[in-house]
Structure 1
Amino acid sequence: MTLCVRLLLALLLLPAVPALADSAGQRPAGAPPQGAAIASAHALATDAGFEVLEQGGNAFDAAVAVSAALSVVEPISSGLGGGGFFLLHRASDGRDVFLDARETAPAAATADRYRDADGKLDREHSQNGPWSAAIPGLPAALVHLAGEYGQLPLSVSLAPAIRLARDGFPVYERLERGYAARREVMERYPGTRAVFLAGGQPPRVGQTLRQPDLARTLEALAARGFDGFYRGQVAKDLLAGVRAQGGQWTAADLAGYAVKEREPLRFGYRGWEIVTAPPPSSGGVALAQMLQVLAGWDLSRQAPAQRAHLTVEAMRRAFRDRTFYLGDPDFVHVPVDVLTSPYYAAGLRATIHPDKATPSDVFSGRPTPLEDEETTHFSIIDAQGNRVGATQTVNLLFGSGLVPPRTGVLLNNEMDDFALLPGQANAFGVMGFEANAPEPGKRPLSSMTPTFMLSPDKVAVLGTPGGSRIITMVLLGVLGYADGLGAQQVAALPRYHHQWLPDVVLAESGAFDAETAARLRGMGHVLQLPGDTVSGRGSSHSWGNLQTVALDRRTGELSSGSDPRNPGGKGEVRALEAAGK
């Protein structure tokens, strides 16, 4: 069914569309927050954020501290060699803004570079080493965030991360396990060996991992801002390290990087206003489609199997549109207004059978005219009411595996997020076509979905890692808040996922009881539960690492939720004397 036909169906079904949420400007400000709340994937990063708040910083300064600390203590998930998205709300004027610090393709990285002699996708080039690495955006984001929105100099907000890199931190089980999974690639490169084999052995739980080169790079960033990373000695060392391994980054690639400020997406869901990520994230568009499709039903009144069926069908349709329409809006036309329209959602809703699964091959698999443990997220609300939702990544475990010598910077492998070969799935099993093809300076499509939720009584900030499953995990988190759950309950919700192709519903342990699973199968859904081997793909027992904070607008009470799947995370509320000053 073409986009135009579905839009026509939507217009016929206009009366079924629920009213959108009131705009934020029509809501009372409510009680001020009682202190500050931070939730992140590592306790040391959460502590870094509070340390900066205690020195008179605001949520944006704390975000610099948390982001940089995660870049040190979670190299498995993110770092200065990667990128991210920062969703910001400034309380003083009510402004919401989306900072796009997604990595960009170097000029030499054309699609032909990623094909083997037979014309097939060369996964060695797309996922490992210098050709897999795009130009990092996270350092530029930290400079921009501090300069435009923070109250403290970078030397203060980066101090906790510099200390963690210089003095070290205890290796934890997830880091040890991730290194073992990527060891063969990591140990190809002398710069990487110097960091992770500094003691002669790979990282082990309880050992102290020190990164003196990374500390010096952070110090250069603190002292010289953008030029401390993208020009000067650090830039020279990055270029030399990439070229030594056969890559072709240039000084112009680095110096030409720029953070983009974009307008967030906004839409309503049953009395809530949702503020979320625009392209080049695919998450916000997909979230708008799924929630507005589901707004046609009161999910709280649905039986578990029926609720899951409707939710899976909304996921299926959103991921199909993601495949063909979404890309970097600076390079391709992305029909955001159509795809996020409640009228279009009504047309999608009309194609859902109430009791039967829609086979994915019913929808055209041809183009039509028109972030597991990888990635990390943190959420912050300060005493002024400023808030930050940030998701950052190096893509797969330890990114490309390449650390250019003398930098301590582990480079990403985000080139794999481009549609390097049209119709060929990437490492997360999602496909793309021309809209997401690589071009010099272009940003690959992402699933990262930092999100705000606002109602007359509540504000919530949430997000998670998880590759393509980020989008559906955020969806389930939004539905949890809409059902009245608290922050910790939302962080612990069981998860399931469908992404159009393959036509399989993946689920965590405990996501469906036996009766619900049987009913879904009876509707025609193919379920893959932990231990199953449908289509040769295992379903993990647990996914993601959702971090969320919330504010009760009536009382000013703050709450936080840190995913129990990751015992190293930390969500905390503190009444700080200097918080928010």
Structure 2
Amino acid sequence: MIRFLLPVLLALSPLTLADDPARSPADPAQAGIASANAYATDAGMEVLAKGGNAFDAAIAVSATLGLVEPESSGLGGGAFMLLRVAGEDREVFIDARERAPLAASRDMFLDADGKANRELSVNGALAAGIPGLPAGLDHLAKKYGRLPLSQSLAPAIRLAHEGWRFGPKNAAFLGYRRDVLRRSPAAAKLFLRGGEVPAEGTLMRNKEYARTLEILAAQGADGFYKGDFARRLARGVREAGGIWTEQDLAQYTVVEREPLRIRHRGFDIVTAPPPSSGGVALATMLKVLEGYDYPRLGKAERSHLFIEAMRRAYRDRALYLGDPDFVQAPVDMLVSDAYAAGLRASIHPARATPSDLLPGVDAAPLRPDTSHFSIIDTEGNLVAVTQTVNLPYGSALMVPGTGFLLNNEMDDFSVKPGVPNAFGLVGDDANAIAPGKRPLSSMTPSFLVGPERTAVLGTPGGSRIITMVLLGLVELMQGEGAQATAAAPRFHHQYLPDVVQAEADAFTPEQIAALEAMGHDVQAGERTWGNMQVVLWNHHDGGVETGTDPRWKGVGKGTSTEASVYR
């Protein structure tokens, strides 16, 4: 298969704050970690206290999240890791995204009548891509960490043996996937009690997960992707009706890519390139918004412009973006000033543009998924990691003896042009299934660097990830703190369906009326979404502050204090 090179993203050099005396920051006075679960944050702080850097801490946080938050991520899934290596004054993007098995085919989820079979692309063995997270953790340790992988994985291994308390987020999502988990005896045995969701506070142990981490600690990625463990994993998937082979696992590698860089209103943004759609969509939206003095506008007028920018960026996402090793996406065009000016010219200042009037793809319930964490250490290293198994509890399939669930990332491909995936996103041939290909993602780990402070942020949330990061970046650029940014209300538009989704407190009734008068269909619900994690470094005094999303009360944790052990 012909492979295409990704076009040059933007003609901007890596961020070199030290080269500009006016922007030279004081070193961070403390390390800061914000993650979606207190166990994971404490694991990262423990590794920092043992002499590790932000990259070692990221391994501890990631592995622990996979244990205590299996609904969102784990060894059976993948990740995007955005790093700033302070000693080398550079940024790098580690692509540990899942890959399609070599036996995958373009129409593998279509029935005899050519209709998409969503059951196969979401539940069970065929839904799973080849995991990337174990390889990503090994790569992070060998190339960027200070400690051996075994030491960074130690907190998660210990916790898997000793046990953790089943929480409200675990329970909420397990209830959603309970019936599918019952189909997998290994998954049901681990996660259910008498076939039902465990009570909150139940002590959960996972000795098989600990053994898998011990194999990874002792043998690195080869212990997972080759040899006895790989044979057992591939055989278990095939016995469950899947198409994995040992060759699929042996051929998996992470890819280091050049991050996407954006300049907006005096700030530098470093973010995810393809196969994430997040950075390109962010660049499109921000460049469209550059033509307006939006901070001075009223909430309804400003939101109208944001919605129209979102609409157009998501339309382009559907048409153009895919795995850069397989498709030549027109990234340089999509992030150009001229293209943004053309999009801006199509926006009426007081009227919504119906999505069906934009040429593009012909036309599900949204569930939070995925997990994100942010880290800054005292050397100025930055880490933003978004990791996932896709839908809550992934494919709900566990190979016996492994201790982790497999992802259902095959649903992130365009199963058929114009057919929405589980998040309501449509796609075209650029994101079609192909052997060895990585599905397009919305994960958008990002850095924001300004004259006075640096922020690390990201969030889960499926198709809404990109717009949440957009709104978070704007909050930070306007001077908000880490916690206020994580808590700020959210709204979203993704081209199709042609509705504005909003949290209940995102707009006042008067603002909703104003948007509806412009032609927007505003659906303000009682549900919230996302789980944003923010760490903020103030350049003036080196102070570090953390913000963790309050939407899951008492679950996430942001801290910049000394390491502690969670009990």
For normalisation by structure 1, the TM-score amounts to: 0.92
Work out whether 1:441 is the aligned partner of 2:441. no
Deviation string for 1:372-404 (max 9, x for gaps)?
Answer: 431000000000000100000000010000000
Instruction: Tell me the CA shift for residue 67 of structure 1.
Output: 0.5
Instruction: Tell me the CA shift for residue 346 of structure 1.
Output: 1.8
Q: SS state of the match for residue 111, structure 1?
A: coil
Deviation string for 1:283-336 (max 9, x for gaps)?
Answer: 000001101111122222100100100000000010000000000000000111
Work out whether 1:125 is the aligned partner of 2:112. no
Query: Counterparts in 2 of 1:119-158, with a 5 A limit?
Result: 119-158=114-153
Aligned counterpart in structure 2 of residue 544 of structure 1, from 530, 550, 563? 530
Moved more, 224-233 or 213-222: 224-233
In structure 2, distance between residues paired with 1:259 and 1:562: 29
Contact 1:293 1:348 in 2 (8 A): yes
Work out whether 1:423 is the aligned partner of 2:407. no
Deviation string for 1:33-66 (max 9, x for gaps)?
Answer: 0010000000000000000000000000000000
Query: Counterparts in 2 of 1:165-244, with a 5 A limit?
Result: 165-197=160-192, 201-244=196-239
Cα 1:60–1:23 shift into 2, 3 Å:
closer
Contact 1:279 1:445 in 2 (8 A): yes
In structure 2, distance between residues paired with 1:395 and 1:252: 23
For 1:569, the equivalent position in structure 2 comes to 556
In structure 1, distance between residues paired with 2:14 and 2:511: 35
In structure 2, distance between residues paired with 1:499 and 1:386: 33
Contact 2:86 2:380 in 1 (8 A): yes
Q: SS state of the match for residue 341, structure 2?
A: helix
Work out whether 1:508 is the aligned partner of 2:494. no
Contact 2:74 2:404 in 1 (8 A): yes
Work out whether 1:71 is the aligned partner of 2:66. yes
In structure 2, distance between residues paired with 1:68 and 1:576: 17
Amino acid at match of 2:20: R
In structure 2, distance between residues paired with 1:373 and 1:47: 23
Cα 1:244–1:335 shift into 2, 3 Å:
same
Instruction: Tell me the CA shift for residue 23 of structure 1.
Output: 5.4
Amino acid at match of 1:223: A
Deviation string for 1:143-165 (max 9, x for gaps)?
Answer: 00000000000110000111121
Deviation string for 1:448-485 (max 9, x for gaps)?
Answer: 00000001111000000000000000000001011110
In structure 1, distance between residues paired with 2:212 and 2:230: 10
Amino acid at match of 1:304: K
Amino acid at match of 2:545: S
In structure 2, distance between residues paired with 1:200 and 1:526: 41
Amino acid at match of 2:271: T
Work out whether 1:27 is the aligned partner of 2:13. no
Cα 1:529–1:201 shift into 2, 3 Å:
closer
Instruction: Tell me the CA shift for residue 21 of structure 1.
Output: 11
For 2:545, the equivalent position in structure 1 comes to 559
Q: SS state of the match for residue 462, structure 2?
A: coil
Q: Percent identity?
A: 58
For 1:379, the equivalent position in structure 2 comes to 374
Cα 1:32–1:202 shift into 2, 3 Å:
same
For 1:253, the equivalent position in structure 2 comes to 248
Contact 2:235 2:245 in 1 (8 A): no
Q: SS state of the match for residue 125, structure 1?
A: helix
Amino acid at match of 1:254: L
Cα 1:366–1:489 shift into 2, 3 Å:
closer
Query: Counterparts in 2 of 1:155-166, with a 5 A limit?
Result: 155-166=150-161
In structure 2, distance between residues paired with 1:193 and 1:167: 20
Contact 1:372 1:465 in 2 (8 A): no
Instruction: Tell me the CA shift for residue 350 of structure 1.
Output: 1.5
In structure 1, distance between residues paired with 2:215 and 2:12: 47
Contact 2:14 2:91 in 1 (8 A): no
For 1:16, the equivalent position in structure 2 comes to none
In structure 1, distance between residues paired with 2:493 and 2:32: 32
Cα 1:542–1:576 shift into 2, 3 Å:
closer
In structure 2, distance between residues paired with 1:348 and 1:555: 41
Contact 1:21 1:273 in 2 (8 A): no
Work out whether 1:471 is the aligned partner of 2:458. no
Cα 1:281–1:260 shift into 2, 3 Å:
same
Contact 1:328 1:443 in 2 (8 A): yes
In structure 1, distance between residues paired with 2:161 and 2:149: 17
In structure 1, distance between residues paired with 2:281 and 2:510: 29
Q: SS state of the match for residue 87, structure 2?
A: coil
Cα 1:364–1:465 shift into 2, 3 Å:
same
For 1:488, the equivalent position in structure 2 comes to 483
Amino acid at match of 1:566: W
Contact 1:21 1:268 in 2 (8 A): no
Q: SS state of the match for residue 480, structure 1?
A: helix
Aligned counterpart in structure 2 of residue 413 of structure 1, from 361, 385, 408? 408
Aligned counterpart in structure 2 of residue 331 of structure 1, from 310, 326, 335? 326
Q: SS state of the match for residue 75, structure 2?
A: coil
For 1:297, the equivalent position in structure 2 comes to 292
- The count of residues paired between Structure 1 and Structure 2 equals 547
Contact 1:355 1:523 in 2 (8 A): yes
Instruction: Tell me the CA shift for residue 247 of structure 1.
Output: 0.9
For 1:93, the equivalent position in structure 2 comes to 88
Instruction: Tell me the CA shift for residue 203 of structure 1.
Output: 2.2
Contact 2:45 2:562 in 1 (8 A): no
Q: SS state of the match for residue 88, structure 2?
A: coil
In structure 2, distance between residues paired with 1:102 and 1:221: 18
Q: SS state of the match for residue 66, structure 1?
A: helix
In structure 2, distance between residues paired with 1:156 and 1:332: 39
Instruction: Tell me the CA shift for residue 233 of structure 1.
Output: 2.4
Instruction: Tell me the CA shift for residue 366 of structure 1.
Output: 4.4
Instruction: Tell me the CA shift for residue 560 of structure 1.
Output: 0.6
Instruction: Tell me the CA shift for residue 22 of structure 1.
Output: 11
Q: SS state of the match for residue 399, structure 2?
A: coil
Moved more, 279-288 or 175-184: 175-184
Contact 1:459 1:551 in 2 (8 A): yes
For normalisation by structure 2, the TM-score amounts to: 0.94
Amino acid at match of 2:559: E
Moved more, 452-461 or 346-355: 346-355
Moved more, 145-154 or 186-195: 186-195
In structure 1, distance between residues paired with 2:196 and 2:418: 41
In structure 1, distance between residues paired with 2:539 and 2:463: 32
Contact 1:21 1:270 in 2 (8 A): no
Amino acid at match of 2:475: G
In structure 2, distance between residues paired with 1:504 and 1:438: 28
Contact 2:35 2:533 in 1 (8 A): yes
Cα 1:357–1:555 shift into 2, 3 Å:
same
Instruction: Tell me the CA shift for residue 130 of structure 1.
Output: 0.3
Cα 1:199–1:362 shift into 2, 3 Å:
closer
Work out whether 1:322 is the aligned partner of 2:317. yes
In structure 2, distance between residues paired with 1:360 and 1:201: 43
Amino acid at match of 2:540: R
